[in-house]
Amino acid sequence: MKNNLDFQTFISVTPNKFILTVTDLKNEILFEKVYKESQINDTKEINYIALGDFLKKNIIEAEKRLKKFIETVHLIIDYKNIYTVYFSIKNKVDIISLDTKIVNDLLVDAKSCCKDTLKDVDILHITIDQFYIDDDYYDVFPDKKKCKNLSIELSFICLPNYVLKNIKKLLSEYKISVDKAFSHSYLESFSNEQNKNIYEIAQKTLYGLNENEVFITNKSLKNKGFFEKFFEFFK
């Protein structure tokens, strides 16, 4: 069997329902299985034993149907303990001309500081709420603008890391890795008449549906003493 070059796989996980969906690159469904708890899960916790049984029954069936191996999946998670951290980071320098590298360095540092401050979390999404440059607010980054003070207000959508750890452990039995994990409620916030399919919304999110969502790939960090950090935490 070949690997998954021409299809994408989504696993939707909630405390009461699991869905395994495979779509082609046009988001047409090739395979789908749904499991619902027979009784209401009052604890609102994910039943990992039931999830393991669901994957055991359906991963192999999906691969046989597709005649291809599933190597990676996108997770869509709806869980009570997903929460948002609001974070501001400020950079004081001499007059500079803004560019994306300066902003990227700030964002990498902000992510590192968030993970250092909040232990045992996975960050699902990072979004820029506003840029504050000298005395003015901007919703969109003003490239090449000269300034002395730059602040970026961010939102981090976080998940306790034991959730992904448990799911990844179950998937590893089938040599499947997680490509990207999404918050279900975050994806639903983009649902409208043109975007109703949650899987299509997830795919579009990866390609910039929200122009203010940040995907950090640069792992290098600047000296933390160079920055002033302000931290607010809300659930």
Per the model's pLDDT, the better-predicted residue between 165 and 117 turns out to be 165
Quote the CA–CA distance of 10 and 27 in Å, as a whole number. 11
CATH number of 83-158+213-233: 3.30.1490.110
Give this prediction's pTM. 0.84
Q: What is the pLDDT of residues 126-149, one digit of tens each?
A: 999 998 888 788 887 777 778 888
Q: Domain segments of the chain: what residues?
A: 7-80+160-206, 83-158+213-233
Per-residue tokens: 69: 């191996």
Most confident of 35-44, 71-80, 81-90: 71-80
| Most trustworthy range by pLDDT among 41-45, 97-101, 201-205 | 201-205
Query: pLDDT digits over 178-192, tens only?
Result: 999 999 999 999 998
Q: How confident is the model at residue 94 (pLDDT cuts 50, 70, 90)?
A: low
Q: Find where tokens 């989504």 sit.
A: 10
Q: Which residues contact 68 (CB under 8 A, 6 or more apart)?
A: 1, 2, 3, 4, 7
Architecture of the domain whose range is 7-80+160-206 = 2-Layer Sandwich (3.30)
d(Cα 195, Cα 201) in Å, to the nearest integer?
6
Q: Which of 27, 29, 142 is nearest to 96 (CA)?
A: 142
Q: Are the beta carbons of 90 and 229 closer than 8 angstroms?
A: yes
Q: Do 182 and 159 contact (CB within 8 A), yes or no?
A: no
Residue 227 confidence (pLDDT): 40
Strand partners, 18: 13, 35
